[in-house]
């Protein structure tokens, strides 16, 4: 089973990329490919720019990666209660090529943040919106207070209760 995973942030130290990578590694017999949104940087989407350049080749490459997956593990960064601009931009460019950005792939949708809500606002927005763009969201998980609940050296959730919760979600939903 091929798993495409990414954190919805362009931070080189993305906590959401850490969470997504960890979660993707929990699937048995999974071949994990980790995407970095920095590899999909494009000018900010606008209809005027789209008229000039057409369908952006980088957005096509992103959609090809999604197409190659059997499962998506996505952890969205929350910026001011919403998607990061890096995720929103690739999403906007891609959705102009096909409304089915996530191509009916099963998805584990995650979020984390340094705060106690763990990206709950962006998780709610995405859980409601992404199915309209071809995401088959099978489960969601929010990791609150990332720095207290994730071990960066071991690249794993350090809070045993939250770690068990994520593992149980994966076991029961996929």
Q: Which CATH number fits domain 2-173: 3.90.230.10, 3.30.70.60, 3.40.50.300, 3.40.50.360?
A: 3.40.50.360
pLDDT, residue 77, reads 98
Beta bridge partners of 107: 72, 137
12 contacts: CB under 8 Å, gap ≥ 6: 38
Neighbour count for residue 67 (Cβ, 10 Å): 12
pLDDT, residue 75, reads 98
Give the tens place of pLDDT for each residue, 81-123: 999 999 999 999 999 999 999 999 999 999 999 999 999 999 9
Average pLDDT value for residue range 4-27: 98
Give the tens place of pLDDT for each residue, 34-85: 999 999 999 999 999 999 999 999 999 999 999 999 999 999 999 999 999 9
Structural domain boundaries of the chain?
A: 2-173
Find the Cα–Cα–Cα–Cα dihedral 103, 169, 2, 120, rounded to 10°: 50
What average pLDDT does the structure give for the chain?
Answer: 97
């Amino acid at each position: 089973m091929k798993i495409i995973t990414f954190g919805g942030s362009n931070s080189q130290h993305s906590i959401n990329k850490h969470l997504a990578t960890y979660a993707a590694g929990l699937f048995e017999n999974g071949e994990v490919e980790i995407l970095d949104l920095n590899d999909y940087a494009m000018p900010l989407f606008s209809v005027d720019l789209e008229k000039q350049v057409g369908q952006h080749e980088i957005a096509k490459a992103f959609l090809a990666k999604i197409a190659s997956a059997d499962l998506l593990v996505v952890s969205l960064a929350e910026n001011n209660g919403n998607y990061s601009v890096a995720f929103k931009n690739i999403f906007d460019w891609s959705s102009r090529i096909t409304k089915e950005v996530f191509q009916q792939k099963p998805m584990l949708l995650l979020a984390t943040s340094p705060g106690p809500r763990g990206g709950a606002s962006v998780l709610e927005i995405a859980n409601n919106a992404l199915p309209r763009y071809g995401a088959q969201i099978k489960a969601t998980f929010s990791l609150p207070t990332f720095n207290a609940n994730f071990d960066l050296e071991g690249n794993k959730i350090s809070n045993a209760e939250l770690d068990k919760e994520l593992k149980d979600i994966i076991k029961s939903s996929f």
